[in-house]
Amino acid sequence: MNTTTSNSAASIRDIGGNDGSLIFLGFCSFASALGGLLFGYDLFVISGAKDLIVQHFQLSTLMEGWFVSSAMVGAMLGCLLAGAGSDRFGRKKVLFVASVLLLACSVGCGLAWSTTSLIFFRWIGGVGVGIASMVCPLYISEISPPRLRGRLVTLFQLAICVGIVAAIVMNTWLLSWHDHLAGREGGGLIGWMVTRDVWRSMLGMESLPALLFCSACMFIAESPRWLAEKGFYPEAQRVLERINGRKVAATELADITAAAMQQNSSLRELLKPGLRRALLMALFLAVVSEWSGITTIWNFGPEIIRGQGIQLSSEMTGMVVIASSLSIFTLVAVWLMDRAGRRRLLFWGNLGCFISLILLGVLLGRPDSASALKVAAAATFVACFAFSMGPIKWIFMSEVFPTSIRGRAVAICSLAVWAADAILNQLFPLIRDHWGKHITFYAFAAVLIPQFFFVWKIMPETKGRSLEEIERSWQGEQQPAATEKPAVPDVDAAAR
């Protein structure tokens, strides 16, 4: 296994010799981030297909919620499997398994013959998404130099955005094609998957990026930290040399080895004061980010922005605008994450999300509100989420745990993400029908209030620090210290 890993790593052309190779690092990060693209596409292709599927299979309100949340339930299982699996078998092999499951999901959903088969393949895809959501940011964090780690892990969030945009653009294009062919007798594959059941082509198109992800996973290197933790020091050294160059690799491997020798691989380590604090903070970020209502924008977006007389194709155009804001401001996160730091971005993003959700609730409470205003409010919420809560929960959970239990610890935090999503998306149709959409979004805004205190008083700054430095800082119940003092508001000062 390890010979194969080093040989596959060597297949990527190295440049820079003693300085390491950004091409090699970029390839491994890009290949892993493809899991994020499939994450985005698989979960949010439903925004355009849901109403069509509900109509096709005559789903009740309860089954509508189960259809949407089934992928989240699968993701919960995927996180549990990936945690122990990635710690035992390595990050690379588990990523490949995720790619195969996502490929099976796309083909199965496109050919689904009943409600049961459709939900089953959605669940299978959810398992793959759960694995990818846990292992992809973990893998990127373990191969990245400290100076680039925040930006490179944010690539995972950017890939999610690309997947969301691709899903929405693909849905819009397929709906336009479907409308163009309306009234015509269509035979063959196009007649079945576009003219009659266009939702099949929406779900089936995921097979293309799934094949790319599957292929890319064959050529990435194994995580050097996992290799060192398992005692494969020569292989770890070779991977580190290709990333950072020989001089830096020798020092880094010594640091990784020293940290690994002091580690205990038991999950009971998470109950010790320092790591228990890290776990609770990571879980808080995971749950609050999802209960902000972000997934309801994607899964139920068309009906949220719906106005009088507006058609589904027009609603999907509004979703393209919302998704575009997600992509643009995730690029802002890539630029600022290792400059401004995690805490400052989270504070301002949380404030923007809170205000936007209140405005969206006001608009949803007025029947005569223009759809354009709803789109603008939703796009602002998504933009603020994109440079803050979206990437930071993945970055933080992938940074703060020791290598020996990092896979399982991140799995617990990822499980919290999907459990929060599953609960919210199962209950949203019921809450929507009983409370109204506007009250629901006021509740989402209320969820964000504790996060202001959390960022100001509790959360530590981790930018610019190696994973081993962060790990050592938890010993003796110490938090990672802030590396620099931010501009007003002085949210970093609270951690000192």
Mean pLDDT, rounded, for 184-194? 65
Q: Are 35 and 213 in contact (CB under 8 A)?
A: yes
Q: Above 80 in pLDDT, residue 405?
A: no
User: Torsion over CA of 402, 405, 411 and 417, rounded to 10 degrees?
Assistant: -30
pLDDT for the residue numbered 133: 83
- Please state the pTM of the whole predicted model: 0.71
For residue 206, the Cα-to-chain-centroid distance in whole angstroms is 17
Predicted pLDDT at 19: 62
Q: What mean pLDDT do residues 269-291 have? A: 85
The confidence score (pLDDT) of residue 479 equals 47
pLDDT in tens, 21-57: 778 888 888 888 888 888 888 777 876 777 788 888 8
CA dist., res. 283 & res. 304, Å (int): 28
Q: Is the dihedral of CA 251, 253, 254, 258 positive or negative?
A: positive
Extract the tokens encoding 176.
Answer: 């336009």
DSSP symbol at 365: T
Dihedral of CA atoms 461, 467, 468, 470 in degrees, nearest 10, equals: 20
3-state helix, strand, coil in the chain (%, to 5): 80, 0, 20
pLDDT digits (tens, 9 = 90+) for 436-482: 778 888 999 999 999 999 988 888 888 877 777 777 777 654 444 44
Convert the pLDDT of each residue in 284-313 to its tens digit.
999 999 899 888 887 676 677 765 444 445
Question: Assign residue 407 a region: left if phi > 0, alpha if psi is -120 to 50, beta otherwise?
Answer: alpha
15-220+263-495: CATH superfamily: MFS general substrate transporter like domains (1.20.1250.20)
Within 10 Å of residue 245's Cβ, how many Cβ atoms? 16
pLDDT band at 20 (very low <50, low <70, confident <90, very high): low
- Cβ neighbours, 10 Å, residue 63: 16
Q: Could you tell me how far CA 276 lies from the centroid of its own chain? A: 23
User: Which of the residue ranges 188-192, 347-351, 437-441, 468-472 would you say has the lowest mean pLDDT?
Assistant: 188-192
Does 339 have pLDDT greater than 70?
yes
Helix (H) or strand (E) holding 425: helix 403-435
Which pLDDT score is estimated for 230?
82
Structure-block tokens of residue 292: 């902000």
Query: One-letter amino acid identity for 318?
Result: G
Element (H, E) at 255: helix 246-261
Dmax (CA) for the chain in angstroms is 72
C-beta of residue 326 within 8 angstroms of C-beta of residue 161: yes
Where in the chain are the domains? 15-220+263-495
pLDDT exceeds 60 at position 173: yes
Query: HSE-up of 22 (CA within 13 Å, CB side)?
Result: 4
Query: Which range has the worst mean pLDDT, 169-178, 300-309, 369-378?
Result: 300-309
464: Cβ–Cβ under 8 A, 6 or more apart, which residues?
146, 147, 338, 483
Tell me, what DSSP letter sits at residue 184?
S
| pLDDT average, residue stretch 4-11 | 39
Nearest to 396 by CA among 409, 379, 405: 409
Q: What is the pLDDT of residues 214-252, one digit of tens each?
A: 998 888 888 888 888 888 888 888 888 888 777 777 777
| Cis peptide preceding 450, ω within 30 of 0 | no
C-alpha torsion 460→466→468→469, nearest 10: -50
